[in-house]
């Protein structure tokens, strides 16, 4: 059942219960009123009849006196006085004034109560005429209660109708945005994060609508960021692949060709018995193979740094510097690397930070010097610093994948990362601190390796 109908049904039920309680009270009150009125009416009539009977004198007009007494009650609203013969026949009766709008039978039946009647014997000789009976008739009194009830129920019924109409209208207004909200939630469920609800209605609901809009906005932003990161990731992968392809083509290709040429020459030289030249050819082939091996190792270490890290951070950092020195010989690399083994996950993250930090410095800063530091701090943290003396961060917005990736890696180890321009505007300093586990001891500790690679 929709919420609006359910609330209305509840309010209607409460109002109906109030009406029933009001009806029961009115019934009780009416019953008492009719009983009181009829009792007092019959008491007054009884005293009037007995007064009249006591002054009645026997004689020729005795019957006329009795009839006068009866007619003095004509038009009474509650009392009927009757003259009944000794054999029980009705001789005469006063005329009762009945209500113009009589109450319904069921109400009369409910309120009239027991029959109230009194009988008086006529005095002396008049006894033979018969007896006088007075009876209370509650039609008029019940009629008054009926009029009263009709008015009360008309007022209460009108009030209930107005209340229900007002509740119906205001619930409709207040709940209309909830329908919007439900269809907006459906859209979000289907992956459409542009859904928006208008923030109207009562304050409590407004808060929900606002929270929904914020949530949809954040989902929209996250989706856009994911899309962007995915695009960047594929661009980075694409760049990496073409760089490796270029390297293989430029560095391995000529040596393969040279080795092939030298190998082809050997049979001819052998047939000519030019032993010295055969030896030279074999040396040349070995040189080519050695060159290819070195280069292949470089490519492999870029593809699988974990392999590099197996040998420890100082060696991995040397390889990293070797990679960049081959491409940017003018950069001076200053390193200060703790010669100690740390948990593999921490070493891997440390290396990735040094790799991306160096790559950023070279790509964006055109520095003369890059400093790489990995040191254990006294607070039990591993502090990794990549600093350069390049241009500093000039871009207003950072749309790259590198820093975001670094942040995620560092956060996964409960560490912290900060990157800022160095003081006096000379280059950038990237600082990462990762908490070391308590058991990460100094068993394998040597003197820190400090190198300068110019």
Ligand X SMILES: Nc1ncnc2c1ncn2[C@@H]1O[C@H](COP(=O)(O)OP(=O)(O)OP(=O)(O)O)[C@@H](O)[C@H]1O
> Residue 365's binding partner, choosing from ligand X, Mg ion, none, with beta-carbon cut-off 5 to 8 A by kind?
ligand X
For 421, phi and psi rounded to 5 degrees? -65, 145
403 binds ligand X (CB under 6 A): yes
d(CA 295, CA 306): 18
Q: Could you tell me the two tokens for 414?
A: 């409960």
- Is 185 or 419 the residue whose CB approaches Mg ion more closely? 419
Q: How far apart, in whole angstroms, are the C-alpha atoms of residue 290 and residue 288?
A: 5
Indicate the residue among 193 and 351 with the shorter CB distance to ligand X: 351
275-303 and 203-247 helices, crossing angle to 10°:
180
- Provide the minimum distance between the beta carbon of 314 and ligand X in the complex, in angstroms, as a whole number: 22
x/- mask, ligand X, residues 204-243, rule CB under 6 A, reads ----------------------------x---x-------
Distance CA 434, CA 415 (A): 4
Choices 61-69, 98-106, 164-172, 386-394 (CB under 6 A): range interacting with ligand X: 386-394
Candidate residues 103, 312, 365, 402; the one interacting with Mg ion per rule CB under 5 A: 402
CA atoms within 13 A on the CB side of 239: 5
One of 322, 392, 400, 448 touching Mg ion (CB under 5 A): 400
Rule CB under 6 A: is residue 312 a binding residue for ligand X? no
Which residue, 138 or 355, has its beta carbon nearer to Mg ion? 355
Separation of alpha carbons 213 and 194, rounded Å: 9
Shortest gap between Cβ of 359 and ligand X (angstroms)? Answer: 7
With 0-12 / 13-18 / 19 or more C-beta atoms within 10 angstroms meaning exposed / middle / buried, residue 125 is exposed
Site string for ligand X, 343-362 (x = CB under 6 A): -----------------xx-
Q: Which of residues 359-378 bind Mg ion (CB under 5 A)?
A: 360
| Interface with Mg ion in residues 179-208 (CB under 5 A) | none
Q: Check if the beta carbon of residue 417 is closer than 8 Å to that of residue 356.
A: no
Name the phi and psi angles at 435, rounded to 5: -65, 135
List 373's β-bridge partners, or say none.
Answer: 336, 385
Residue placing its CB nearer to ligand X in the complex, 170 or 237: 237
- DSSP letter string, 68-113: HHHHTTTT-SSEEEEEE-TTS-EEEEPPP---SSPPPHHHHHHHS-
Footprint of ligand X on 241-270 (CB under 6 A)? none
Name the site residues for Mg ion (rule: CB under 5 A): 360, 400, 402
Name the site residues for ligand X (rule: CB under 6 A): 232, 236, 360-361, 363-365, 388, 390-393, 395, 398, 400-403, 428
């Amino acid at each position: 059942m929709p919420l609006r109908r359910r609330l209305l049904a509840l309010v209607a039920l409460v109002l109906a219960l109030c009406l029933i309680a009001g009806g029961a009270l009115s019934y009780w009150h009416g019953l008492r009123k009719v009983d009181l009125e009829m009792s007092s009416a019959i008491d007054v009539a009884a005293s009037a009849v007995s007064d009249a009977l006591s002054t009645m004198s026997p004689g020729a007009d005795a019957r006329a006196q009795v009839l006068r007494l009866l007619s003095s009650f004509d038009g009474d609203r509650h009392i009927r006085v009757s003259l009944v013969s000794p054999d029980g026949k009705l001789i005469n009766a006063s005329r009762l004034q009945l209500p113009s709008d009589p109450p319904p039978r069921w109400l009369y039946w409910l309120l009239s109560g027991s029959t109230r009647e009194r009988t008086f014997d006529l005095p002396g000789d008049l006894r033979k005429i018969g007896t006088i009976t007075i009876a209370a008739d509650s039609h008029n009194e019940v009629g008054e209660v009926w009029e009263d009830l009709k008015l009360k129920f008309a007022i209460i019924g009108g009030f209930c109708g107005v209340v229900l109409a007002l509740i119906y209208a205001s619930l409709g207004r207040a709940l209309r945005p909830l329908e919007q909200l439900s269809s907006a939630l459906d859209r979000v469920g289907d992956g459409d994060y542009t859904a928006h609800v208008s923030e109207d209605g009562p304050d409590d609901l407004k808060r929900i609508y606002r929270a929904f809009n914020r949530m949809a906005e954040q989902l929209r932003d996250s989706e856009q960021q994911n899309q962007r990161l995915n695009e960047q990731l594929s661009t980075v992968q694409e760049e990496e692949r073409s760089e490796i392809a270029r390297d293989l083509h430029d560095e391995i290709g000529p040596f393969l060709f040279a080795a092939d040429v030298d190998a082809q020459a050997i049979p001819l030289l052998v047939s000519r018995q030019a032993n010295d030249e055969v030896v030279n050819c074999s040396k040349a082939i070995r040189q080519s193979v050695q060159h290819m091996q070195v280069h292949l190792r470089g490519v492999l270490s870029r593809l699988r740094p974990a392999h590099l890290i197996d040998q420890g951070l100082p060696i991995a950092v040397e390889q990293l510097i070797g990679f960049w020195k081959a491409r940017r010989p003018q950069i001076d690399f200053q390193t200060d690397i703790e010669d100690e083994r740390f948990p593999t996950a921490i070493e891997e993250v440390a290396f990735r930070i040094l790799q991306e930090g160096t790559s950023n410095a070279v790509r964006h800063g055109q520095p003369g010097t890059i400093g790489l530091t990995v040191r254990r701090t006294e607070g039990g943290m591993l502090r990794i610093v990549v600093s350069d003396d390049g241009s500093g961060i000039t871009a207003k917005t950072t749309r790259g994948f590198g820093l975001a990736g670094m942040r995620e890696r560092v956060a996964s180890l409960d560490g912290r990362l900060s990157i800022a321009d160095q003081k006096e505007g000379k280059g950038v300093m990237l600082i990462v601190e990762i908490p070391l586990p308590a058991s990460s001891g100094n068993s394998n500790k040597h003197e820190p390796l400090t190198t300068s690679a110019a």
